[in-house]
């Protein structure tokens, strides 16, 4: 990604020379530096002609690259700040001021290199999506199985899907029963049981048993391919930010040309005009922003936040709306035993211990969660025998000679075990799965599993509120009841549930009317919404690679906690960059006036401009400074109208449907202040 210096251009609206400019920028700053050193050495040795050539040749190299860039911009109707640098370098050489030209070339090329480094942090959004997509499938043919490219699959083909395979196309279960992990598509934390005839979606992962899939669509028309297209479409709608320097450049260019022309016209001395142009070389504008932004990027990386470029950093400083995914983002993304109701004569430790002992033989995520819980409780687990697992139903077997069943109501009925009646109490508001346990033909326990909110979730949302996030929306593919129960008591304004990737993207686009939107997610299903938001944030430590690549910001730790600090860093970087730009312009204007009045020669003007550049760089590097504490986000947001102490007990609030689109339900407690 290369940014031009043309007025009104953006990061993607760049001239054709940008295709080869990145390769030149690596050496572009080195050449004038070497030329200056060689030329000054030649001068010291009394070799003025060699010194002149040492100053001139590097300047010509930079001038050629700059001329091509300016010519391309002018052909597109864009007049930019680079024109001043072109005029000053060309004027210095034509008026026999090679040393001044070399100094200008060094300033300009140094700024270009810094800017290229900042811009080069962006990634390729589609790489991870394409890498995850299956390349081949096992098609059943003539009584056997043949591995074929997924592009060769057609409706009606029968495909063998092994445990751990990603479904290559949309279709139906032709034979067998299994469980599918659809979290990357729908946001559901727990696997979904499917049996013969059930529709299934490409991109799901088989976590149950091998089964035969009957293809209903070619790969190019499958759900997963549609997600790839959504990311591409969302990115094409996204308007990248213009470089901050360009916002002030047009007026600066006009003043510069007016002063230079006036100085030459009044005095008849072209060196005065050259001195004005030299002092006006827009290096403070070109240098201040990339230095401040690169410093901000480095500071953010130090707390585990990878920000992909200066444009993303600037957007992070301005976000006002947070749309957050549920599974794996606001929640832990894994099932946990949330409640256990036992039936006499069994106690909880006995029922959980027997069920967990049997579940050691199962690979189901719920089974693993139960085993982990038993081990956390210090329960002794026995080795099960005669284990039989029915995909989508449960597990049976012997534990210490006792016949144990762990599964759903259908498994209980198959074995003649009465299903325990409901006790009329909602033990877990956001329960995602209920598991029954029976021992020796008698019901023993009802276990409720949930995907709990992260331990720091409430504090982080409160800290984000304190940092100026005015609206928080939970967007999830999970069921509405689970989602609304989960956010009760959290500072969430609205819930959008039962969303597929397209609807989640629509929700993000609709929220942009409330201000710049930051979308936080971690799954493949979040990738289009991340790309559609003003700023996409992905959890890269455990989330899908596709989400991390589609996002503008990646949290390298498995937590939302660094976000408030990242916002603080972004705001500080943006403020210092703006301050540096304005200070640089002010000093340059003063120097231009002095040059127009004849108080500065072109060489003196170049040295003065170099001093201004150094001051601007040092000021911009203040972004790297400041107190580094765990609570720096709170310090940055002190006095905000949303200042909510992280330890504050947030009131519970009942959701209220506001009639809005995208399945939104508003929580009246957290209205935007008027």
Q: Which residues are catalytically annotated? A: 325
What DSSP letter does each residue of 301-364 carry, written as one string? HTTTEEE-SHHHHHHHTT--EEEEEIIIIIB-SS-EEEEEEE-TT--HHHHHHHHHHHHTT---
CB atoms within 10 A of CB 167: 25
H or E segment and range at residue 146: strand 144-149
DSSP state of 282: -
Q: Residue 213 in contact with residue 161, Cβ under 8 Å?
A: yes
C-alpha–C-alpha distance, residues 505 and 507, integer Å: 5
Burial class (CB in 10 A: 0-12, 13-18, 19+), 144: exposed
Structure tokens at 56: 């001139």
Strand partners, 173: 213
Report the DSSP pairing between strands 199-200 and 171-175: antiparallel
- Count CA atoms within 13 Å of residue 3 on its CB side: 32
Crossing angle of helices 602-620/562-596, nearest 10°? 160
* Six-digit token string for 502: 């397209």
- Residues 6+ away with beta carbon under 8 Å from 645: 462
Distance CA 285, CA 588 (A): 10
Beta bridge partners of 436: 407, 446
Alpha helix positions (H), 419-492: 457-466, 480-487
b/e per residue, 296-310, with b = 16+ CB within 10 A?
Answer: bbebbeebbbbbbbb
Pairing type for strands 517-521 and 402-407 reads unpaired
Token couple for 591:
């120097």
3-state secondary structure of 532: helix
Number of H helices, E strands in the chain: 23, 24
| Encoded tokens for 223 | 């759900």
Return d(Cα 251, Cα 244) in angstroms, integer. Answer: 14
CA-based nearest residue to 619, from 391, 314, 289: 289
* Other beta carbons less than 10 A from residue 3's beta carbon: 28
Task: Show the tokens assigned to 74.
Answer: 């002018």
Instruction: Say which residues have a Cβ less than 8 Å from residue 413's Cβ, sequence separation at least 6.
Output: 419
What's the residue count for the chain?
Answer: 674
Q: Which residue has the tokens 């199962």?
A: 362
Interatomic CA distance for residues 433 and 482, integer angstroms: 10
Q: Would you state the structure tokens that stand for residue 91, as one six-digit string?
A: 């004027």
Under a CB-based contact definition with an 8 Å cutoff, are residues 2 and 240 in contact?
A: no
Q: Find, among 427, 430, 433, 390, the residue nearest to 410 by Cα.
A: 390
């Amino acid at each position: 990604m290369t940014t031009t210096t043309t007025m009104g251009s953006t990061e993607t609206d760049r001239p054709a020379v940008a295709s080869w400019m990145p390769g030149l920028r690596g050496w572009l700053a080195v050449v004038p530096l070497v030329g200056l050193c060689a030329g000054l050495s030649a001068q010291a040795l009394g070799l003025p002609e060699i010194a002149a050539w040492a100053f001139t040749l590097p300047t010509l190299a930079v001038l050629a690259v700059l001329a091509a860039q300016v010519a391309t911009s002018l052909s597109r109707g864009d007049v930019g700040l680079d024109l001043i640098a072109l005029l000053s370098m060309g004027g210095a050489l034509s008026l026999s001021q090679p040393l001044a030209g070399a100094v200008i070339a060094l300033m300009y090329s140094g700024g270009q290199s810094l800017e290229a480094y900042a811009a080069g942090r962006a990634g390729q959004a589609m790489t991870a999506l394409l890498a995850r997509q299956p390349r081949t499938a096992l098609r059943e043919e003539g009584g056997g199985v043949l591995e074929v490219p997924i592009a060769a699959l057609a409706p009606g083909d029968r495909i063998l899907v092994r445990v751990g395979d990603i479904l290559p196309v949309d279709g139906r279960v032709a034979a067998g029963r299994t469980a599918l992990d659809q979290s990357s598509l729908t946001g559901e934390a727990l696997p979904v049981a499917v049996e013969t005839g059930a529709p299934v979606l490409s991109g799901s992962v088989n976590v149950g048993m091998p089964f035969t899939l009957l293809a209903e669509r070619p790969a190019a028309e499958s759900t997963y391919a549609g997600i790839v297209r959504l990311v591409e479409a969302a990115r094409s709608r996204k308007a990248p930010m213009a470089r901050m320097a360009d916002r002030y450049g047009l007026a600066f260019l006009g003043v510069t040309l007016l002063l230079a022309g006036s100085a030459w016209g009044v005095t008849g001395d072209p060196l005065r005009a050259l001195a004005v142009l030299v002092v006006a070389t827009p290096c403070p504008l070109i240098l201040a922003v990339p230095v401040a932004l690169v410093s901000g990027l480095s500071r953010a990386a130090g707390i585990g936040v990878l920000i992909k470029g200066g444009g993303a950093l600037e957007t992070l400083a301005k976000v006002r709306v947070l749309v957050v995914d549920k599974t794996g983002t606001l929640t832990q993304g894994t099932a946990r035993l949330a409640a256990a109701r036992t039936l006499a004569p069994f106690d909880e430790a006995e029922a959980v211990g027997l069920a967990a002992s049997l579940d050691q033989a199962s690979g189901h995520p719920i089974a693993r969660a139960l085993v982990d819980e038993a081990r956390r409780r210090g329960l002794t687990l026995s080795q099960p025998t005669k284990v039989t697992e029915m995909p989508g139903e449960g597990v049976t077997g012997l534990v210490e000679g006792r016949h144990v069943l762990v599964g759903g109501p259908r498994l209980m009925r198959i074995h003649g075990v009465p299903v325990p009646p409901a006790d009329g109490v909602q033990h877990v508001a956001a329960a995602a799965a209920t598991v029954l346990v029976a021992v020796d033909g008698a019901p023993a326990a009802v276990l409720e599993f949930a995907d709990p909110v992260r331990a720091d979730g409430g504090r982080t949302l409160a800290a984000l509120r304190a940092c100026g996030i005015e609206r928080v929306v939970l967007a999830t593919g999970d069921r509405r009841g689970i989602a609304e129960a989960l956010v009760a008591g959290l500072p969430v304004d609205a819930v959008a549930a039962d969303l597929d990737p397209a609807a989640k993207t629509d929700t993000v686009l609709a929220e942009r009317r409330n201000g710049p939107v930051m979308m936080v997610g971690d799954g493949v299903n979040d990738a289009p919404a991340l790309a559609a938001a003003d700023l996409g944030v992905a959890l890269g430590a455990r989330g899908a690679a596709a989400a991390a690549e589609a996002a503008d910001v990646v949290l390298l730790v498995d937590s939302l906690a660094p976000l408030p600090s990242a916002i603080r860093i972004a705001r500080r970087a943006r403020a210092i960059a703006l301050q540096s730009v304005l200070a640089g312009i002010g000093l340059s204007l003063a120097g231009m006036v002095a040059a127009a009045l004849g108080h500065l020669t072109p060489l003196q003007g170049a040295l003065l401009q170099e001093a201004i550049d150094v001051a601007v760089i040092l000021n911009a590097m203040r972004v790297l400074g400041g107190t580094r504490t765990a609570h720096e986000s709170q310090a940055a947001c002190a006095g905000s109208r949303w200042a909510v102490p992280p330890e504050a007990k947030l009131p519970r609030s009942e959701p209220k449907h506001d009639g809005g689109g995208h399945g939104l339900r508003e929580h009246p407690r957290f209205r935007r202040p008027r």
